[in-house]
Structures are given as structure tokens and as C-alpha cells.
Structure 1
Amino acid sequence: MRADTPATLTDGERRWPVVSGIAWLRAGRDDVRERAVAALDDGDPDGAAVALLADADDWWDEPPPPPERLRAALHARTLRDAVTLLGLGRVGVYFLHRWSDPSWLAALALTAAHPPAGRPVVDLACGAGHLLRHLASHGHRDLVGVDVVFAKLWLAHRFVLPPGAASLVCADLTAPWPLPAPGRPRHVACHDALYFLPDKERVVERARAAAGEGGAVLLGHCHNATHPAGRSGLPLDAPGWTALLPGSATYAEEELTAAAVEDRVALPATPAELMGTEAIGLADDDAAAPPDRTLLRPAPGAALRPNPLYGDPGGPRGRIWPHVRWAEEYGPRAERYLPERWTPLPVADAVRRRLLLDLPDRW
């Protein structure tokens, strides 16, 4: 793959668009690719962006917004406005309040227990770049995010990530990956996504190959098919997940979330805990990097803001879940650390309880 113009790549047979610095390399979407390339050739990068923003993953069940709304999204001033204009619905709510939900705390705890430790990071199904931003703020460099949905990567680029913090690629995890062979060991992560994908064995095989010898593979929030709250997507039971990554350390979702709230290193699960958990975390780290508890917290000096779930700081401060689906999926565990009403606490405790958050400037 090489650049044939400043805004397109070629593999010698087909041309691929690069919009907002994001290489769009999705398989099986030739009509979208050709429309975006044609718009770029015509000097219309906004038209190319609109073509790519209308594309979704195979799970999405809503029609795309009309082109005029997508063009308006290109000029949105905040992440909140953008997710509305892009018609992201419940996924947009998830992105806006990711910093509060239990699965985010679990992702932090799994990452803290098995940190990058200076290795390049590849975040698979990275969404809007929450983990990449967190790692960048803690001084990690050489970050790559891969997702199948361009709109999510565009949100990451425009509103979530610091400029130049990560390279972003729009590609399918179920197709051959557009990643070079590792020049050195990598930290490869996939949080809150693998349970959606078919042929999980192939994805994990590719993740291990991308990590290389001395690398790490982390699989977070893998829904447990035997738990009532873990049946969405294409989940596996606990033995099914552990068979994908033999010899890995395994964690129960509830313990990971609790560890983040309590600012401690998570404990691996017993067999009984693993069978009964809502979701499973797995980590295979050849280098056995020591835990890094700093990754449980915002970086020093981060500008902390009140959690938007508590409304206008000048008004009533009762906790309000942002959406019925969010409440159903996250509410029962989130209420264990998010007080019902705003509670003045020392800063360290308010951060642990997620009353204060490190939100993007243009949240």
C-alpha cells in the first residue's frame, strides 16, 4: 500500500481514501470506497467524509442520517453535538458516558494489571479512542487504533484524541489486517467488542501474531453466554473464552471494576468466579510486565470536571442515567460507585467514584 495522491492510497489495483488522516481500508464496501475516492479526486474532502460517515458496521440497525446532517456534523463544535448529528443513538450515548461506565473501569483495571510498559499499542475496535487518549495522557507513544466504523474514528480524531496522539485505520478485524509485522513486541488490546465478532479464533490468532514474541494480548469485557446480562452479540461461555487464549490470566468483570474503584491491582478469578461473571477479561503477556496502578487514574495535572450524569453544576445534582439501555446495562453496577446525589469528597475519592472525570475539552 502506497500513497498515489496526498489523499489516497493504492495497492496497485484499487485506490483507497484517506480522510482526516484516517486511512479507510474496509473490505467488501467497494461502492463506498469508490464514492469517497471520486469525491477526493474532485477536490471535495467533505463529500468524501460524508460518504464514509454514512457507512456502519453490520450490527447497526438504524438508517444513516441524510447527507445534509452528515455535512453539518463536520462542523459540530462538541462531541455531544456530533454524535447527535451522526445519528449514533445508543452508541453515541455510550461514547459520551464511557468515562463513567463499569466496563471502562474494567478496561482500565485490566490494562493496569498488564500495562503496555513501553511497547507500541494496537487498540482493536478502538471506537472513539477513549483508551488511546488515556494511554497518550500517561505518556505512551506509538499508538494505533483500528475500527470498522469511520464515524467512530472521526470522533476520536476530531474530539477525543490530542492532535497526533495516534494513527487511526478503518478496517475489518474479520478480514486480513493492514498492519505490518511487528518490528518489536506490541501490546494488542480488544475491549468490549470481541463478543460481537464471528470467527473469534481467527481474530485472536491475528492479535497474537500482531503482538509478536514478548508482546501482550488483552481481551476485555468478553460477554459470558451463561450470565443473564452477557447474552448480547455472539458470546461464549467461560471455557470458550479461555480456550481462545490458553495460559492467559483471567479476570471477572466485577472484580476488575471494583479494583479500579478501590485503586488497586485486580485479582485473577477463581474458576467459580469466572463461571458466574457477567463478562471475562483475559491477558496473555509474554513479558509479564509489572502492574501500573497509575493507569487507574487520570494523568497528573489533568483538568477534572464534574461528571455530566449529575447535570448542571448550578442546578439539581441528582444522578440521572443517560438512556434506558445504558441504565439496564450499566446502572446496577455503576450505582455501587456513583452516589445517587452529588457528594462533596476529597479529589482523590471523587476521582475514584467517578464524580470527577478527565473529559475531552470539547466534550
Structure 2
Amino acid sequence: MTASPSAPVGATFRWRGPDGTTLHPDTRHTLADGLRRWPVVEGIPWLRPGRDDLRERAVAALDAGEPDAAAVLLLGDADDWWEAAPPPPEQLRTALRAGTLREAVRLLGLGRVGVYFLHRWSDPSWLAALALTAAHPPAGRPVVDLACGAGHLLRHLVRHGHRDAVGVDVVFAKLWLARRFVLPPGARVSLVCADLTAAWPLPPPTAARHVACHDALYFLPDKAAAVAAALACAGPGGALLLGHLHNARHPAGQAGLPLPAEQWTALLPGATAYAEEELTAAAVAGRPPEPAVPAELTGTEAVGLARDPAGPAADPGLLQPAPASPLRPNPLYVDGARRWPDPRWAEEYGGRAAGYLPERWPAEPGPDAVRRRLLLDLPERW
């Protein structure tokens, strides 16, 4: 495997390593800090700390002219929450030749996370992320998506015209999916594999940034440190959006290391708070979400927070796919019937998704078909 000739490297700033040291390219496929060398595969720097053996093996493979071998090594690396063993190297090597996102997530052994990626465009937490973003948009500022996964939000913003974007995630396989299948071809998006519990890979901002972290902060043990670092990453006049923060008092909010709603809001003083259910409903209705008062957050499944001192006007267009996007029927419908992808997805998302996805494909989808996610802007090779 070699990177596509058109594969972008994104912004030209210098990455920083896990100890905060600025990295410099020493070859076309590695970065160095003077002591250690770090692999870069498909334009994605891999900067995870505490995995020196894996780092050195990947660098050695790249030095030997074997990018496939380096990619296989990094594709087998998971986060600390993942309990499954990596697929055999032969299977990961086959994944390098996958023709679709569906085939790739299967070969990568991503299990429930793969199902989540495939159907992210339909789930209620995605609609909540869109509503939060539309209410507090980037407004031309550089975008940093923390724990970006397979790049769904980055794709959405790039297609809406945002050109300066960075995605950070701790799992290389997710970023590889973003680059290969999810991001628009030629998108100027920088991706970096790094651990947000170590020194952050981005240099200090030279201008205000729009920083977002959706459906991930509840996994981090030191949430206050992560929020402080995210605010520093946003810079003066920058925005910080924190989406889908699991409410520890809600039965559906027990995954990860959740907090009660009032502890989430205390982490970001001055932020506008939203209930997850209101954010989802607003996206379906095509209207701005209503901020929540503390009492309304007590029973929500998850909290959304946004702090933006610049206060740009809302951008309702971000609730929908970009104009002229090719739309396809939601793949959750098979032979006209709605079928959840598996029982786990149905338990986590089906109850609220049923509020906008009917059991049967309508005889004549109405003007709200896009808002209700009957029609989706899926990647070409979904």
C-alpha cells in the first residue's frame, strides 16, 4: 500500500510529540524530536506515547520501504477501552484493499464501533451534534475535532465549505477510515493519531479556533484537564463544543466514566447547556435548539455544552447536508422495512431514532425526508 498521490497532508504547522517537543520531518515518512522517530502513514502521524516497540517496528517497516507492513501494525492498535483482540495480520492486510467502508470496518474487526460508524448519519446523537454545531458554528475559524473517530463531523463541515480542519483520535484505524472512505476526496484535512491524556499534538493557536469533542469526553478520567487543554487549544475568542456528555443519573448514560449533569456544566463555566433530546428534536424539526435550565438537565440522557465568546450567528444550513450533495436512501431500510443494524444499536439508539425514522419507507417521501434522515449524504464508497 502506498498513499494516494492526491492524499492531502492538511495544515503545514509542526506537530508536537507526547512530551510537548516540536517534531520535524526527517524523512518523507517519519517525524523526529531528536531522540525518537515517529511513523507517518497515509499522511497521518502516529504519536501515541507508551508504545515504543510498536513505534519502532512501524518506523523500521517504513524505512525498509514496506508501508503495508507499517499500516498493518498501526491498524491493529486499539484504545485502552477496547476488549477484543486485533484481527490477524493477514486480515488487516486484506483491509488495505477494501473497496467500501462496510468491508473495511468488518475486516478491521471494529465490531460495535464499526456499526456505529456505518450508521452514524442516522443516530440521534449525530443529529444532536449537528444541532449544537449549527447553534454555535465555526464561522470561518479553523476547526479542531477531538476524538474525531472516522471523520463524520469533519466531512460535514468540509462539504459546507470549511477548509482548515484537523482531526485527532487515539486509534489509527479510525483515522485511516476517515482518510480512505469518509472525507471527501482531496479534502484539506489534517489527521493525527495522538492521546489527549498526554501533551497535545497541536501547537498553540495563532488565531481563534473552533474546537469540538463529541461522544468521547466521558471516557477520559481527568475531564477537567482535558477541558482546560481544549480551551487552550481554542485560544482567546475561540469556541469549545462538548457534545453527548453521558449523564450518570440516566439509565442510558452509564457507559464510560459519566458524570451527573451539574458536574458537566461545572467543567465549562459560562457555557450554554442543552439536553440531548432537545438537540435531536431541533435537528429533526430544522429549528434552533432551546438552551436548558439546570432542572431540565437532570433527566436528560446526555448534556451538550457550548462556550463561544465570539457569539457568531447560528448557521441553520449546518443542520442539513451541503447544497447539491448527492443523497441516497438510508441503508437502514431493506425492502421498504426499517431494520436496525443489531440489537445493541437498537437498544442504544432505536427508541429515539424511531421518532423520525418510520417503520416503513413512505410511499412518497415528503419535503422533510432529509431532516428525518430517510435520505442521507453517504460517502461514495459507503
Paired residue for 1:286? 309
Please tell me whether residue 33 in structure 1 is matched to residue 61 in structure 2.
Answer: no
Tell me the CA shift for residue 57 of structure 1: 0.1
The whole-number CA distance in structure 2 between the counterparts of 1:35 and 1:254 is 46
Contact 1:186–1:211 (8 Å) recurs in 2: yes
Tell me the CA shift for residue 147 of structure 1: 0.1
Contact 2:158–2:187 (8 Å) recurs in 1: no
Contact 1:36–1:48 (8 Å) recurs in 2: yes
Number of residue pairs aligned between Structure 1 and Structure 2: 359
Please tell me whether residue 341 in structure 1 is matched to residue 360 in structure 2.
Answer: yes
- C-alpha deviations, 1:303-361, integer Å up to 9, x for none? 000000002xxxx2110000111101001100000000101445631101100000000
Kindly report which structure 2 residues correspond to 1:71-82, keeping only aligned pairs within 5 A, or say none.
71-82=93-104
Q: Which amino acid aligns with 1:176?
A: A
Q: Which amino acid aligns with 1:259?
A: A
Q: Where does the alignment leave 5 or more consecutive residues of structure 1 unmatched? A: none
Q: Which amino acid aligns with 2:205?
A: P
Cα 1:229–1:5 change in 2 (3 A) is same
Contact 1:133–1:165 (8 Å) recurs in 2: no
- C-alpha deviations, 1:200-257, integer Å up to 9, x for none? 0010000000001110000000000000110110000011101110010000000000
The whole-number CA distance in structure 1 between the counterparts of 2:372 and 2:271 is 29
Paired residue for 2:210? 187
Paired residue for 1:350? 369
Q: Percent identity?
A: 74
Correspondence for 1:131 among 138, 153, 162:
153
Paired residue for 2:195? 172
Q: Secondary structure at 1:179's aligned position in 2?
A: coil
Cα 1:26–1:347 change in 2 (3 A) is farther
Please tell me whether residue 265 in structure 1 is matched to residue 263 in structure 2.
Answer: no
Correspondence for 1:234 among 250, 254, 257:
257
Paired residue for 2:112? 90
Q: Which amino acid aligns with 1:322?
A: P
Q: Secondary structure at 1:220's aligned position in 2?
A: strand
The whole-number CA distance in structure 1 between the counterparts of 2:363 and 2:224 is 47
Paired residue for 1:5? 27
- C-alpha deviations, 1:127-184, integer Å up to 9, x for none? 0000000000000011000000000000000000022331000000111101011010
The whole-number CA distance in structure 2 between the counterparts of 1:345 and 1:192 is 34
Correspondence for 2:84 among 62, 65, 69:
62
Contact 1:253–1:278 (8 Å) recurs in 2: yes
Contact 1:304–1:358 (8 Å) recurs in 2: yes
The whole-number CA distance in structure 2 between the counterparts of 1:98 and 1:348 is 22
Please tell me whether residue 206 in structure 1 is matched to residue 225 in structure 2.
Answer: no
Q: Secondary structure at 1:16's aligned position in 2?
A: strand
4+ long deviations beyond 4 Å: none
Paired residue for 1:327? 346
Q: Secondary structure at 2:40's aligned position in 1?
A: strand
Contact 2:248–2:259 (8 Å) recurs in 1: yes
Q: Which amino acid aligns with 2:230?
A: A
Q: Secondary structure at 1:308's aligned position in 2?
A: coil
TM-score by length of 2: 0.93
Q: Secondary structure at 1:350's aligned position in 2?
A: coil
Q: Which amino acid aligns with 1:170?
A: C
The whole-number CA distance in structure 1 between the counterparts of 2:188 and 2:107 is 25
Contact 2:262–2:294 (8 Å) recurs in 1: no
Correspondence for 1:112 among 134, 147, 151:
134
The whole-number CA distance in structure 2 between the counterparts of 1:120 and 1:186 is 5
Please tell me whether residue 255 in structure 1 is matched to residue 278 in structure 2.
Answer: yes
- C-alpha deviations, 1:27-86, integer Å up to 9, x for none? 111111111101001100000000000000000010000000000000000000000000
Q: Which amino acid aligns with 1:29?
A: R
Q: Secondary structure at 1:354's aligned position in 2?
A: coil
The whole-number CA distance in structure 2 between the counterparts of 1:317 and 1:131 is 28
The whole-number CA distance in structure 1 between the counterparts of 2:55 and 2:77 is 10
Of 347-356 and 286-295, more deviation after overlay is shown by 347-356
Correspondence for 2:173 among 151, 158, 161:
151
TM-score by length of 1: 0.98
Q: Which amino acid aligns with 2:77?
A: D
Q: Secondary structure at 1:280's aligned position in 2?
A: strand
- C-alpha deviations, 1:280-316, integer Å up to 9, x for none? 00000010111100000000000000000002xxxx2
Q: Secondary structure at 2:368's aligned position in 1?
A: helix
The whole-number CA distance in structure 2 between the counterparts of 1:56 and 1:347 is 42
The whole-number CA distance in structure 2 between the counterparts of 1:288 and 1:245 is 16
Cα 1:347–1:4 change in 2 (3 A) is farther
The whole-number CA distance in structure 2 between the counterparts of 1:208 and 1:145 is 16
Correspondence for 2:45 among 23, 33, 44:
23
Which protein is richer in helix relative to its size?
1
The whole-number CA distance in structure 2 between the counterparts of 1:165 and 1:262 is 32
